[in-house]
Amino acid sequence: MNITVYLGSGKGNDPTITEAVRELGEWIGRSGNSLVYGGSKIGIMGVLAESVIENGGKAIGVEPQFLIDRVLQYDKLTELIATKDMSERKDKMIELGDVFIAMPGGTGTLEEISEIMSKVALGLLDAPCIVYNHNGYYDDLKKQLGKMNDFGFSDEDRQSNIYFADSIDGIKKIIAGASDE
């Protein structure tokens, strides 16, 4: 299974996030699944790819040519897919993914996982969308989705394949449950 992960290109200021990213990468690598991600070697993106590769997994990087030209890609990728721009990158990552996970990140991460949430809610994508709510990072996003329901702009059916997990074990359980369906 291809697990598409969205996450920050920075390291952030909470070292436990880096450890959680490493733990996710170790599990992806050992489980026989493949990582699909933005391809970068910097920040927690690099930590994720490195931990997948070091644990025997495959890491597929999808990166726009302008970032490849800056030599920002992780050099031990199993496969590097070059795209013309960020929009094509997002489309390719969605095309390749079977499961989608948002780790902590910035506005790019939020944009990418929001697109997955929208596609899931519209029935255009039948895949788990998992938001890793490490140390409450995405508490406000979870509240906002609830508020959308409260105001009648969404409902639990539309959000039924959007999950929040507080741990890597929680992510594993969601994925295991989705594959049983």
* H-helix segments, 56-167: 65-69, 86-96, 107-121, 139-150
Looking at residue 180, its pLDDT comes to 61
Domain CATH for 23: 3.40.50.450
Task: Output DSSP code: residue 73.
Answer: B
* Residues in the chain with pLDDT values less than 70: 179-181
Looking at residue 40, its pLDDT comes to 92
Domain presence at residue 30: yes
Exposure of 82 in the CB half-sphere (CA atoms within 13 A) = 9
Q: The pTM is what?
A: 0.96
Domain presence at residue 101: yes
Domain with 89, as residue range(s), is: 2-175
Domain presence at residue 123: yes
pLDDT in tens, 112-129: 999 999 999 999 999 999
Domain presence at residue 180: no
Tally of domains in the chain: 1
